[in-house]
Chains A and B, each alone.
Chain A
Protein backbone atom coordinates (compact mmCIF):
# COMPACT_ATOMS: atom_id res chain seq x y z
CA UNK A 1 0.00 0.00 0.00
CA UNK A 2 2.75 2.44 0.92
CA UNK A 3 4.57 1.76 -2.30
CA UNK A 4 1.38 2.29 -4.33
CA UNK A 5 0.90 5.61 -2.64
CA UNK A 6 4.34 6.84 -3.54
CA UNK A 7 3.91 5.83 -7.14
CA UNK A 8 0.59 7.59 -7.60
CA UNK A 9 1.76 10.66 -5.75
CA UNK A 10 4.77 10.98 -7.99
CA UNK A 11 2.59 10.49 -11.07
CA UNK A 12 0.23 13.17 -9.79
CA UNK A 13 3.03 15.67 -9.39
CA UNK A 14 4.24 15.02 -12.91
CA UNK A 15 0.74 15.65 -14.30
CA UNK A 16 0.45 18.81 -12.24
CA UNK A 17 3.67 20.27 -13.55
CA UNK A 18 2.81 19.39 -17.14
CA UNK A 19 -0.59 21.05 -16.85
CA UNK A 20 0.69 24.26 -15.27
CA UNK A 21 2.43 25.58 -18.35
CA UNK A 22 -0.67 25.69 -20.53
CA UNK A 23 -2.60 28.74 -21.58
CA UNK A 24 -5.87 29.64 -19.94
CA UNK A 25 -7.51 30.20 -23.28
CA UNK A 26 -7.90 26.52 -23.78
CA UNK A 27 -9.41 25.83 -20.39
CA UNK A 28 -12.83 27.20 -21.09
CA UNK A 29 -15.40 26.39 -23.68
CA UNK A 30 -18.86 27.90 -23.75
CA UNK A 31 -21.95 27.09 -25.70
CA UNK A 32 -25.68 27.44 -25.62
CA UNK A 33 -27.31 24.75 -23.53
CA UNK A 34 -30.52 23.08 -24.62
CA UNK A 35 -33.32 25.32 -23.45
CA UNK A 36 -31.48 28.57 -24.00
CA UNK A 37 -29.17 28.65 -21.01
CA UNK A 38 -25.52 29.30 -20.42
CA UNK A 39 -23.34 26.27 -20.33
CA UNK A 40 -19.80 26.82 -19.35
CA UNK A 41 -17.59 23.86 -19.43
CA UNK A 42 -14.10 23.82 -18.23
CA UNK A 43 -11.30 21.87 -19.66
CA UNK A 44 -7.96 21.04 -18.26
CA UNK A 45 -5.63 19.07 -20.48
CA UNK A 46 -3.98 16.33 -18.58
CA UNK A 47 -1.19 15.25 -20.89
CA UNK A 48 1.14 17.40 -22.94
CA UNK A 49 0.83 15.25 -26.03
CA UNK A 50 -2.93 15.39 -26.18
CA UNK A 51 -3.05 19.06 -25.33
CA UNK A 52 -0.85 19.94 -28.28
CA UNK A 53 -2.39 17.49 -30.70
CA UNK A 54 -5.95 18.68 -30.29
CA UNK A 55 -7.08 22.24 -30.86
CA UNK A 56 -10.00 21.86 -28.46
CA UNK A 57 -9.49 20.90 -24.90
CA UNK A 58 -11.78 18.38 -23.32
CA UNK A 59 -13.86 19.75 -20.45
CA UNK A 60 -13.92 18.07 -17.05
CA UNK A 61 -16.76 19.84 -15.23
CA UNK A 62 -19.92 21.78 -16.05
CA UNK A 63 -21.94 24.66 -14.78
CA UNK A 64 -25.45 24.84 -16.14
CA UNK A 65 -27.63 27.83 -15.55
CA UNK A 66 -31.07 27.45 -17.06
CA UNK A 67 -33.47 30.22 -17.90
CA UNK A 68 -35.68 28.39 -15.40
CA UNK A 69 -33.35 29.74 -12.68
CA UNK A 70 -31.87 26.31 -12.02
CA UNK A 71 -28.17 26.43 -11.27
CA UNK A 72 -26.91 22.91 -11.75
CA UNK A 73 -23.39 21.91 -10.89
CA UNK A 74 -22.15 18.62 -12.28
CA UNK A 75 -19.88 16.83 -9.88
CA UNK A 76 -16.90 15.10 -11.46
CA UNK A 77 -15.90 13.53 -8.13
CA UNK A 78 -17.69 10.88 -6.13
CA UNK A 79 -18.99 11.65 -2.66
CA UNK A 80 -17.72 8.91 -0.36
CA UNK A 81 -18.34 10.65 2.92
CA UNK A 82 -15.48 13.13 2.89
CA UNK A 83 -17.67 16.07 1.92
CA UNK A 84 -16.70 16.31 -1.73
CA UNK A 85 -20.27 17.15 -2.73
CA UNK A 86 -20.04 20.23 -0.56
CA UNK A 87 -16.44 21.34 -0.99
CA UNK A 88 -16.43 21.10 -4.81
CA UNK A 89 -19.61 23.23 -5.12
CA UNK A 90 -18.04 25.72 -2.73
CA UNK A 91 -15.17 26.24 -5.19
CA UNK A 92 -17.55 26.97 -8.05
CA UNK A 93 -20.10 28.94 -6.01
CA UNK A 94 -17.41 31.15 -4.46
CA UNK A 95 -16.46 32.62 -7.84
CA UNK A 96 -19.85 32.27 -9.51
CA UNK A 97 -21.32 34.29 -6.63
CA UNK A 98 -24.19 32.00 -5.78
CA UNK A 99 -25.24 30.60 -2.42
CA UNK A 100 -24.97 26.89 -1.76
CA UNK A 101 -28.71 26.71 -1.18
CA UNK A 102 -29.26 27.94 -4.74
CA UNK A 103 -27.47 25.09 -6.46
CA UNK A 104 -28.58 21.64 -7.47
CA UNK A 105 -26.01 18.90 -7.89
CA UNK A 106 -25.85 16.23 -10.53
CA UNK A 107 -23.33 13.48 -10.72
CA UNK A 108 -21.19 13.38 -13.84
CA UNK A 109 -21.97 10.51 -16.19
CA UNK A 110 -19.14 8.16 -17.07
CA UNK A 111 -17.05 10.14 -19.55
CA UNK A 112 -13.33 10.08 -19.16
CA UNK A 113 -12.74 12.87 -21.66
CA UNK A 114 -15.06 15.27 -19.87
CA UNK A 115 -14.54 14.32 -16.26
CA UNK A 116 -11.05 12.95 -15.83
CA UNK A 117 -9.33 14.02 -12.66
CA UNK A 118 -6.62 16.40 -13.96
CA UNK A 119 -4.04 14.98 -11.57
CA UNK A 120 -4.74 11.36 -12.45
CA UNK A 121 -5.81 11.49 -16.09
CA UNK A 122 -8.68 9.12 -15.38
CA UNK A 123 -12.21 9.60 -14.06
CA UNK A 124 -11.52 8.59 -10.51
CA UNK A 125 -11.91 9.90 -7.00
CA UNK A 126 -9.43 9.17 -4.28
CA UNK A 127 -5.91 9.72 -3.06
CA UNK A 128 -7.03 13.03 -1.49
CA UNK A 129 -6.66 14.89 -4.76
CA UNK A 130 -10.18 16.04 -5.69
CA UNK A 131 -9.72 19.48 -4.13
CA UNK A 132 -6.10 19.69 -5.24
CA UNK A 133 -7.13 18.94 -8.80
CA UNK A 134 -10.21 21.15 -8.77
CA UNK A 135 -8.90 24.11 -6.77
CA UNK A 136 -7.78 26.28 -9.67
CA UNK A 137 -9.88 25.12 -12.63
CA UNK A 138 -13.26 24.98 -10.88
CA UNK A 139 -12.83 28.45 -9.42
CA UNK A 140 -11.87 29.64 -12.90
CA UNK A 141 -15.00 28.00 -14.29
CA UNK A 142 -17.13 29.84 -11.74
CA UNK A 143 -15.35 33.13 -12.30
CA UNK A 144 -15.61 32.94 -16.08
CA UNK A 145 -19.32 32.20 -15.89
CA UNK A 146 -19.85 35.15 -13.56
CA UNK A 147 -17.90 37.45 -15.89
CA UNK A 148 -20.12 36.45 -18.81
CA UNK A 149 -23.31 36.93 -16.78
CA UNK A 150 -22.15 40.40 -15.70
CA UNK A 151 -21.24 41.24 -19.31
CA UNK A 152 -24.71 40.17 -20.46
CA UNK A 153 -26.42 42.35 -17.86
CA UNK A 154 -24.19 45.34 -18.61
CA UNK A 155 -24.97 45.06 -22.32
CA UNK A 156 -28.69 44.85 -21.64
CA UNK A 157 -28.54 47.93 -19.42
CA UNK A 158 -26.02 49.68 -21.66
CA UNK A 159 -23.68 50.33 -18.76
CA UNK A 160 -20.04 49.62 -17.98
CA UNK A 161 -19.59 46.06 -16.69
CA UNK A 162 -17.22 47.47 -14.08
CA UNK A 163 -20.15 49.34 -12.56
CA UNK A 164 -22.01 46.04 -12.00
CA UNK A 165 -21.38 43.28 -9.55
CA UNK A 166 -22.69 39.81 -8.87
CA UNK A 167 -24.14 38.54 -5.63
CA UNK A 168 -26.28 35.56 -4.61
CA UNK A 169 -27.24 34.60 -8.15
CA UNK A 170 -28.01 38.09 -9.37
CA UNK A 171 -26.22 40.86 -11.23
CA UNK A 172 -26.72 44.26 -9.69
CA UNK A 173 -26.16 47.79 -11.00
CA UNK A 174 -26.18 49.91 -7.83
CA UNK A 175 -26.16 53.38 -9.52
CA UNK A 176 -29.55 52.68 -11.11
CA UNK A 177 -30.70 50.11 -8.53
CA UNK A 178 -31.30 47.48 -11.19
CA UNK A 179 -30.89 43.77 -10.77
CA UNK A 180 -31.40 40.64 -12.84
CA UNK A 181 -31.31 37.04 -11.79
CA UNK A 182 -28.83 34.70 -13.45
CA UNK A 183 -31.62 32.69 -15.03
CA UNK A 184 -32.94 35.78 -16.81
CA UNK A 185 -29.46 36.45 -18.15
CA UNK A 186 -28.57 32.89 -19.09
CA UNK A 187 -29.47 33.00 -22.78
CA UNK A 188 -27.66 36.32 -23.34
CA UNK A 189 -24.66 35.24 -21.30
CA UNK A 190 -24.18 32.24 -23.59
CA UNK A 191 -23.41 34.70 -26.42
CA UNK A 192 -20.84 36.72 -24.49
CA UNK A 193 -17.17 36.26 -25.31
CA UNK A 194 -15.28 33.84 -23.13
CA UNK A 195 -12.97 35.89 -20.91
CA UNK A 196 -9.31 35.50 -21.74
CA UNK A 197 -8.35 35.88 -18.13
CA UNK A 198 -10.37 35.32 -15.02
CA UNK A 199 -9.28 37.23 -11.97
CA UNK A 200 -9.92 35.00 -9.01
CA UNK A 201 -10.97 36.37 -5.64
CA UNK A 202 -8.33 36.96 -3.03
CA UNK A 203 -8.60 34.61 -0.05
CA UNK A 204 -9.53 37.44 2.31
CA UNK A 205 -12.64 37.99 0.18
CA UNK A 206 -13.82 34.39 0.32
CA UNK A 207 -17.30 34.12 1.76
CA UNK A 208 -17.74 30.33 1.33
CA UNK A 209 -14.32 28.72 1.11
CA UNK A 210 -12.91 28.21 4.56
CA UNK A 211 -16.25 28.51 6.31
CA UNK A 212 -18.31 25.68 7.86
CA UNK A 213 -21.14 24.44 5.68
CA UNK A 214 -23.96 21.98 5.99
CA UNK A 215 -23.30 19.02 3.76
CA UNK A 216 -25.34 19.12 0.57
CA UNK A 217 -25.57 15.35 0.12
CA UNK A 218 -27.07 14.43 3.49
CA UNK A 219 -30.79 15.12 2.93
CA UNK A 220 -30.88 12.38 0.29
CA UNK A 221 -29.01 10.05 2.64
CA UNK A 222 -31.56 10.26 5.46
CA UNK A 223 -34.63 9.67 3.28
CA UNK A 224 -33.49 6.82 1.06
CA UNK A 225 -33.29 8.76 -2.21
CA UNK A 226 -29.48 8.83 -2.47
CA UNK A 227 -28.33 6.62 -5.34
CA UNK A 228 -25.30 4.48 -4.54
CA UNK A 229 -23.60 2.25 -7.07
CA UNK A 230 -25.70 -0.71 -5.97
CA UNK A 231 -28.87 1.33 -6.54
CA UNK A 232 -28.30 2.19 -10.20
CA UNK A 233 -31.05 0.71 -12.33
CA UNK A 234 -30.46 1.18 -16.06
CA UNK A 235 -33.47 0.22 -18.22
CA UNK A 236 -33.80 -3.54 -18.62
CA UNK A 237 -31.10 -4.31 -16.08
CA UNK A 238 -30.83 -7.87 -14.81
CA UNK A 239 -29.25 -8.98 -11.56
CA UNK A 240 -26.46 -11.56 -11.40
CA UNK A 241 -24.25 -13.20 -8.84
CA UNK A 242 -21.13 -15.27 -9.36
CA UNK A 243 -19.39 -18.38 -8.03
CA UNK A 244 -15.64 -18.27 -8.61
CA UNK A 245 -13.08 -21.00 -8.35
CA UNK A 246 -12.17 -21.23 -4.65
CA UNK A 247 -8.54 -21.78 -5.64
CA UNK A 248 -6.53 -19.31 -7.71
CA UNK A 249 -5.88 -20.83 -11.09
CA UNK A 250 -8.69 -23.36 -10.73
CA UNK A 251 -11.22 -24.09 -13.45
CA UNK A 252 -14.65 -25.57 -13.81
CA UNK A 253 -14.72 -29.30 -14.49
CA UNK A 254 -18.46 -29.64 -14.73
CA UNK A 255 -21.64 -27.68 -13.92
CA UNK A 256 -25.06 -29.20 -13.42
CA UNK A 257 -27.44 -26.27 -13.66
CA UNK A 258 -30.69 -28.19 -13.94
CA UNK A 259 -31.95 -27.18 -10.50
CA UNK A 260 -30.69 -23.61 -10.84
CA UNK A 261 -32.54 -23.10 -14.12
CA UNK A 262 -35.74 -24.26 -12.46
CA UNK A 263 -35.57 -21.48 -9.83
CA UNK A 264 -38.30 -18.93 -10.40
CA UNK A 265 -36.84 -15.69 -11.71
CA UNK A 266 -33.58 -17.19 -12.99
CA UNK A 267 -33.14 -16.35 -16.66
CA UNK A 268 -29.64 -17.48 -17.61
CA UNK A 269 -26.61 -19.39 -16.41
CA UNK A 270 -23.33 -18.06 -17.79
CA UNK A 271 -20.38 -20.42 -17.62
CA UNK A 272 -16.84 -19.09 -17.86
CA UNK A 273 -13.57 -21.00 -17.52
CA UNK A 274 -13.20 -20.25 -13.85
CA UNK A 275 -16.60 -18.90 -12.76
CA UNK A 276 -20.33 -19.37 -13.16
CA UNK A 277 -22.83 -16.50 -13.09
CA UNK A 278 -26.53 -16.80 -12.44
CA UNK A 279 -28.61 -14.05 -14.06
CA UNK A 280 -32.06 -13.37 -12.64
CA UNK A 281 -34.85 -10.85 -12.21
CA UNK A 282 -33.81 -10.14 -8.64
CA UNK A 283 -30.94 -10.97 -6.30
CA UNK A 284 -33.07 -13.34 -4.25
CA UNK A 285 -33.55 -15.58 -7.28
CA UNK A 286 -29.92 -15.18 -8.37
CA UNK A 287 -28.59 -16.27 -4.97
CA UNK A 288 -31.05 -19.15 -4.78
CA UNK A 289 -30.03 -20.22 -8.27
CA UNK A 290 -26.35 -20.02 -7.37
CA UNK A 291 -26.90 -22.20 -4.31
CA UNK A 292 -28.69 -24.74 -6.53
CA UNK A 293 -25.74 -25.09 -8.93
CA UNK A 294 -23.74 -28.29 -8.65
CA UNK A 295 -20.21 -27.23 -9.59
CA UNK A 296 -17.23 -29.55 -9.80
CA UNK A 297 -14.02 -27.59 -9.63
CA UNK A 298 -10.65 -28.57 -10.99
CA UNK A 299 -8.44 -26.82 -8.46
CA UNK A 300 -5.57 -26.65 -10.93
CA UNK A 301 -1.84 -26.29 -10.21
CA UNK A 302 -2.34 -24.66 -6.79
CA UNK A 303 -4.68 -27.33 -5.47
CA UNK A 304 -2.31 -28.34 -2.70
CA UNK A 305 -0.84 -24.94 -1.94
CA UNK A 306 -0.89 -24.16 1.78
CA UNK A 307 0.79 -21.92 4.32
CA UNK A 308 3.56 -24.42 5.10
CA UNK A 309 4.30 -24.81 1.41
CA UNK A 310 4.50 -21.05 0.90
CA UNK A 311 6.83 -20.73 3.90
CA UNK A 312 9.07 -23.49 2.56
CA UNK A 313 9.24 -21.82 -0.87
CA UNK A 314 10.14 -18.48 0.71
CA UNK A 315 12.97 -20.10 2.60
CA UNK A 316 14.28 -21.65 -0.57
CA UNK A 317 13.91 -18.38 -2.45
CA UNK A 318 15.91 -16.43 0.09
CA UNK A 319 18.71 -18.70 1.28
CA UNK A 320 20.78 -15.73 2.45
CA UNK A 321 18.24 -15.07 5.22
CA UNK A 322 18.71 -18.55 6.55
CA UNK A 323 15.91 -20.47 8.09
CA UNK A 324 14.00 -18.28 10.54
CA UNK A 325 15.95 -15.21 9.50
CA UNK A 326 13.06 -13.56 7.64
CA UNK A 327 10.07 -12.56 9.73
CA UNK A 328 7.27 -13.44 7.41
CA UNK A 329 5.48 -15.91 9.63
Chain B
Protein backbone atom coordinates (compact mmCIF):
# COMPACT_ATOMS: atom_id res chain seq x y z
CA UNK B 1 0.00 0.00 0.00
CA UNK B 2 1.01 3.61 -0.31
CA UNK B 3 2.55 5.44 2.62
CA UNK B 4 3.08 9.16 2.87
CA UNK B 5 6.32 9.74 4.77
CA UNK B 6 8.01 12.99 5.62
CA UNK B 7 11.76 12.94 5.00
CA UNK B 8 13.90 16.01 5.55
CA UNK B 9 10.83 18.23 5.36
CA UNK B 10 9.48 16.76 2.12
CA UNK B 11 6.53 14.39 1.91
CA UNK B 12 6.96 11.33 -0.31
CA UNK B 13 4.41 8.73 -1.29
CA UNK B 14 5.88 5.24 -1.43
CA UNK B 15 4.01 2.12 -2.53
CA UNK B 16 5.59 -0.75 -0.61
CA UNK B 17 4.55 -3.44 1.84
CA UNK B 18 4.03 -2.13 5.36
CA UNK B 19 6.81 -4.28 6.80
CA UNK B 20 9.43 -2.83 4.43
CA UNK B 21 12.31 -1.41 6.49
CA UNK B 22 12.67 2.36 6.29
CA UNK B 23 16.31 1.88 5.21
CA UNK B 24 15.36 0.35 1.88
CA UNK B 25 12.65 2.92 1.27
CA UNK B 26 15.22 5.67 1.75
CA UNK B 27 17.97 4.03 -0.28
CA UNK B 28 16.23 2.09 -3.05
CA UNK B 29 12.84 3.75 -3.44
CA UNK B 30 13.74 7.39 -2.77
CA UNK B 31 17.38 7.08 -3.93
CA UNK B 32 18.79 8.70 -0.78
CA UNK B 33 21.92 6.61 -0.41
CA UNK B 34 23.62 8.60 2.35
CA UNK B 35 22.09 6.28 4.95
CA UNK B 36 24.09 3.08 4.90
CA UNK B 37 23.31 -0.63 5.16
CA UNK B 38 25.63 -2.45 7.49
CA UNK B 39 24.14 -5.48 9.20
CA UNK B 40 20.37 -5.28 8.72
CA UNK B 41 19.88 -6.30 12.36
CA UNK B 42 20.38 -3.07 14.34
CA UNK B 43 23.78 -4.25 15.52
CA UNK B 44 26.10 -1.74 13.84
CA UNK B 45 24.40 1.66 13.67
CA UNK B 46 25.36 2.49 10.06
CA UNK B 47 21.68 2.98 9.15
CA UNK B 48 20.90 5.47 11.92
CA UNK B 49 18.41 8.23 11.08
CA UNK B 50 16.32 10.52 13.27
CA UNK B 51 12.62 9.84 13.75
CA UNK B 52 11.21 12.91 15.48
CA UNK B 53 14.75 13.63 16.60
CA UNK B 54 15.34 10.20 18.13
CA UNK B 55 18.27 8.18 16.75
CA UNK B 56 16.65 5.17 15.12
CA UNK B 57 18.01 2.11 13.30
CA UNK B 58 16.25 2.36 9.96
CA UNK B 59 17.12 -1.21 8.96
CA UNK B 60 14.62 -2.66 11.44
CA UNK B 61 12.06 0.16 11.40
CA UNK B 62 9.05 -0.90 9.32
CA UNK B 63 7.59 1.81 7.15
CA UNK B 64 4.12 1.34 8.63
CA UNK B 65 5.43 2.40 12.06
CA UNK B 66 6.44 5.86 10.86
CA UNK B 67 3.02 7.49 10.54
CA UNK B 68 3.37 11.27 10.56
CA UNK B 69 6.75 11.27 12.27
CA UNK B 70 9.45 13.45 10.78
CA UNK B 71 12.47 11.60 9.44
CA UNK B 72 15.83 13.34 9.19
CA UNK B 73 18.74 11.75 7.35
CA UNK B 74 22.44 12.55 6.94
CA UNK B 75 21.58 14.47 3.76
CA UNK B 76 19.80 17.17 5.79
CA UNK B 77 21.41 17.05 9.23
CA UNK B 78 23.39 20.18 8.35
CA UNK B 79 20.13 22.12 8.57
CA UNK B 80 20.13 21.64 12.34
CA UNK B 81 22.50 23.69 14.51
CA UNK B 82 24.03 20.66 16.24
CA UNK B 83 24.23 18.71 12.98
CA UNK B 84 26.24 21.48 11.34
CA UNK B 85 28.53 21.73 14.38
CA UNK B 86 29.10 17.98 14.38
CA UNK B 87 29.96 17.94 10.68
CA UNK B 88 32.37 20.85 11.12
CA UNK B 89 34.07 19.10 14.04
CA UNK B 90 34.27 15.86 12.00
CA UNK B 91 36.17 17.74 9.28
CA UNK B 92 38.37 19.71 11.69
CA UNK B 93 39.39 16.55 13.51
CA UNK B 94 39.70 14.44 10.35
CA UNK B 95 37.53 11.81 12.00
CA UNK B 96 36.81 9.91 8.82
CA UNK B 97 38.88 7.02 7.60
CA UNK B 98 36.91 4.94 5.08
CA UNK B 99 33.75 6.83 6.06
CA UNK B 100 31.16 4.13 5.54
CA UNK B 101 29.86 4.15 9.14
CA UNK B 102 30.16 7.91 9.55
CA UNK B 103 26.64 8.91 8.46
CA UNK B 104 25.36 6.73 11.29
CA UNK B 105 27.99 8.04 13.72
CA UNK B 106 27.09 11.63 12.88
CA UNK B 107 23.36 11.00 13.28
CA UNK B 108 23.92 9.41 16.70
CA UNK B 109 26.28 12.20 17.75
CA UNK B 110 23.87 14.91 16.60
CA UNK B 111 21.02 13.32 18.56
CA UNK B 112 23.25 13.12 21.62
CA UNK B 113 24.19 16.80 21.52
CA UNK B 114 20.62 17.84 20.85
CA UNK B 115 19.48 16.18 24.07
CA UNK B 116 22.67 16.65 26.09
CA UNK B 117 24.68 19.72 25.02
CA UNK B 118 27.64 18.95 27.31
CA UNK B 119 28.06 15.19 27.49
CA UNK B 120 30.66 13.53 29.72
CA UNK B 121 32.90 10.79 28.37
CA UNK B 122 30.51 8.27 29.88
CA UNK B 123 27.55 9.95 28.18
CA UNK B 124 29.39 9.83 24.85
CA UNK B 125 30.33 6.18 25.26
CA UNK B 126 26.77 5.34 26.22
CA UNK B 127 25.20 7.17 23.28
CA UNK B 128 27.75 6.00 20.70
CA UNK B 129 28.29 2.40 21.79
CA UNK B 130 25.85 1.06 19.22
CA UNK B 131 27.76 2.57 16.30
CA UNK B 132 30.56 0.31 15.15
CA UNK B 133 33.58 1.59 13.20
CA UNK B 134 35.83 -1.04 11.70
CA UNK B 135 38.51 1.57 11.01
CA UNK B 136 38.55 2.33 14.74
CA UNK B 137 37.95 6.07 14.63
CA UNK B 138 36.43 6.06 18.12
CA UNK B 139 39.03 8.29 19.73
CA UNK B 140 38.59 11.00 17.13
CA UNK B 141 34.82 10.64 17.28
CA UNK B 142 34.90 11.40 21.00
CA UNK B 143 37.24 14.36 20.45
CA UNK B 144 35.01 15.72 17.71
CA UNK B 145 31.88 15.45 19.86
CA UNK B 146 33.65 17.36 22.62
CA UNK B 147 34.78 20.00 20.16
CA UNK B 148 31.27 20.37 18.78
CA UNK B 149 29.89 20.61 22.32
CA UNK B 150 32.28 23.42 23.20
CA UNK B 151 31.87 25.38 19.97
B75 touches A221 (CB 8 A): no
User: How does the 8 Å CB contact mask read for A230-256 relative to B, with 1 for contact and 0 for none?
Assistant: 110100000100000000000000000
Shortest CB–CB separation between residue A149 and chain B, in angstroms?
32
User: How does the 8 Å CB contact mask read for A8-49 relative to B, with 1 for contact and 0 for none?
Assistant: 000000000000000000000000000000000000000000
Would A81 and B97 be within 8 Å (CB), given that A224-B75, A263-B17 are in contact? yes
A227 touches B29 (CB 8 A): no
- How many chain B residues sit at the interface, stated as a range, is 35 or more
Assembled-state Cα–Cα distance A113/B126 (Å): 50
B135 partner residues in chain A, CB cutoff 8 A: 81
Q: Is B117's CB within 8 Å of the partner chain A?
A: no
Assembled-state Cα–Cα distance A230/B74 (Å): 16
B103 touches A224 (CB 8 A): yes
A282 touches B24 (CB 8 A): yes
Shortest CB–CB separation between residue A122 and chain B, in angstroms?
22
Shortest CB–CB separation between residue A224 and chain B, in angstroms?
2
Task: Name the prevailing secondary structure of the A interface residues.
Answer: loop
B87 touches A222 (CB 8 A): yes
Shortest CB–CB separation between residue B109 and chain A, in angstroms?
11
A231 touches B33 (CB 8 A): yes
B75 touches A80 (CB 8 A): no
Would A215 and B94 be within 8 Å (CB), given that A224-B75, A224-B103, A285-B20 are in contact? yes
B91 touches A222 (CB 8 A): yes
A264 touches B17 (CB 8 A): yes
B17 nearest CB neighbor, chain A only: A264
Would A223 and B19 be within 8 Å (CB), given that A218-B91, A283-B27, A284-B28 are in contact? no
Assembled-state Cα–Cα distance A218/B91 (Å): 7
Q: Which residues of chain A from 203 to 228 have any CB-CB distance to chain B below 8 Å in the complex?
A: 214-215, 217-219, 221-228
Q: Is A281's CB within 8 Å of the partner chain B?
A: yes
Q: Is A181's CB within 8 Å of the partner chain B?
A: no
Would A224 and B27 be within 8 Å (CB), given that A263-B17, A265-B16, A265-B17 are in contact? no
Q: Is A191's CB within 8 Å of the partner chain B?
A: no
Q: Is A271's CB within 8 Å of the partner chain B?
A: no
Q: Is A179's CB within 8 Å of the partner chain B?
A: no
A283 nearest CB neighbor, chain B only: B24
Shortest CB–CB separation between residue B76 and chain A, in angstroms?
9
Would A226 and B28 be within 8 Å (CB), given that A215-B94, A283-B37, A285-B20 are in contact? no
Q: Which residues of chain A from 269 to 324 have any CB-CB distance to chain B below 8 Å in the complex?
A: 281-285, 287-288
Q: Which residues of chain B from 1 to 27 have any CB-CB distance to chain A below 8 Å in the complex?
A: 16-17, 19-21, 23-25, 27
B74 touches A281 (CB 8 A): no
B87 touches A283 (CB 8 A): no
A283 partner residues in chain B, CB cutoff 8 A: 24, 27-28, 37
A225 touches B34 (CB 8 A): yes
B19 partner residues in chain A, CB cutoff 8 A: 288
B76 nearest CB neighbor, chain A only: A224
Assembled-state Cα–Cα distance A233/B34 (Å): 13
Shortest CB–CB separation between residue A35 and chain B, in angstroms?
29
Q: Which of A228, A282, A287 contacts B29 (CB 8 A)?
A: A282
Shortest CB–CB separation between residue A217 and chain B, in angstroms?
7
Assembled-state Cα–Cα distance A214/B28 (Å): 32
B137 nearest CB neighbor, chain A only: A81
Q: Which residues of chain A from 66 to 85 have any CB-CB distance to chain B below 8 Å in the complex?
A: 80-81
A218 touches B90 (CB 8 A): yes
B75 nearest CB neighbor, chain A only: A224
B96 touches A284 (CB 8 A): no
Would A215 and B17 be within 8 Å (CB), given that A223-B75, A281-B29 are in contact? no
Q: Is B108's CB within 8 Å of the partner chain A?
A: no
B98 nearest CB neighbor, chain A only: A81
A282 touches B16 (CB 8 A): yes
B37 touches A221 (CB 8 A): no
Some 17 contacts from A to B, beta carbons below 8 A apart, are: A218-B90, A222-B90, A222-B96, A222-B99, A223-B87, A224-B32, A224-B73, A230-B33, A230-B37, A233-B31, A233-B33, A282-B28, A283-B27, A284-B21, A284-B24, A285-B20, A288-B19
User: What are the 10 A-B residue pairs with the smallest beta carbon separation, nearest first?
Assistant: A224-B34, A81-B98, A221-B99, A282-B28, A284-B24, A224-B74, A231-B33, A284-B20, A81-B97, A224-B75
